[in-house]
Every structure is written in C-alpha cells, then in structure tokens.
Structure 1
Amino acid sequence: MSTRELARSLLDQVPESKLLYVVAYLQGVTTPEDDETPNAETLEAFEELDNGGGHTYNGPVENLIDSLLGDESA
C-alpha cells in the first residue's frame, strides 16, 4: 500500500466531527511556503526604509517595547 493509499484509508476512518481539523491541516501543508506575499502596508514600510525614512532598531526586544510604550505616554 502506498503512502497516498494509506492516507485515503485513514481519511475514511476520521469521524465527521474531526474532519474539519484534518482539512485545515491539509490546506496548510499544501500551500507553498513562499506564497506569503507582504500586504500593501508592509511593502510601503519596506519602500520607506529603502528611501532612508522610517526607524530601525537593533537592540533587545524589551528595550524596544519600553521605548514604544514611553512614546505613547508622552
């Protein structure tokens, strides 16, 4: 029995109440990994950085969060 045939056989044994989980998993593993295209807002931020604008941060995440929260309370 091939792996594909085994998968079909097992799929037939999955109760209807759990089939949604199997379908969701299968959709996740059949989507190409490189299919994650950035949205328009992200592309705009990339362009801003490429043109010398925006802000970059290279320190610890904790310090970044503190600085961002500090900016909000000012």
Structure 2
Amino acid sequence: PITLVEIERLCFQETPISASWVRKLLVKHDLTAIAPLVPDATLRYLQGMVERHPGSAAARQKSPVLATGEK
C-alpha cells in the first residue's frame, strides 16, 4: 500500500515560500530578501551563482518562464 503524507509548506511572515517567489527575487539579485526563505546551503549556492554570472539573471528576466517558472 501507498501512504500519502502531506507536508505543510513553510511560510515567511505568513506567506507560503515558493520556488517562484525565490526565482523572482533572484532575477533582481535580491539575496538579502532570499536569505530568510532558503536553507544556508542554498543561499551560498545562489550567491556563488550570482557572483559567477552577474548579468545572466537580468538577461533571463525577459522570459517569464525562466524568471518566475510560470507560463
């Protein structure tokens, strides 16, 4: 048998945290706003990504699918 376990989404200031939210902030390079939303290891990864490719997130902003994950 398969057991379903529903895990409640983490919230920040009563707003559910989503990858779309984090991606929108990443496009703006707003790592300060991202910090309380993601684990430390993820934040370090994103910081390194922004440092290695400072212009690429801004270039992706023109594509809503890449910027927000939404079509």
Q: TM-score scaled to structure 1, two decimals?
A: 0.26
Q: Which has the higher contact order (CA 8 A, sep 6+)?
A: 2
Higher helix share: 1
Structure with greater Cα Rg: 1
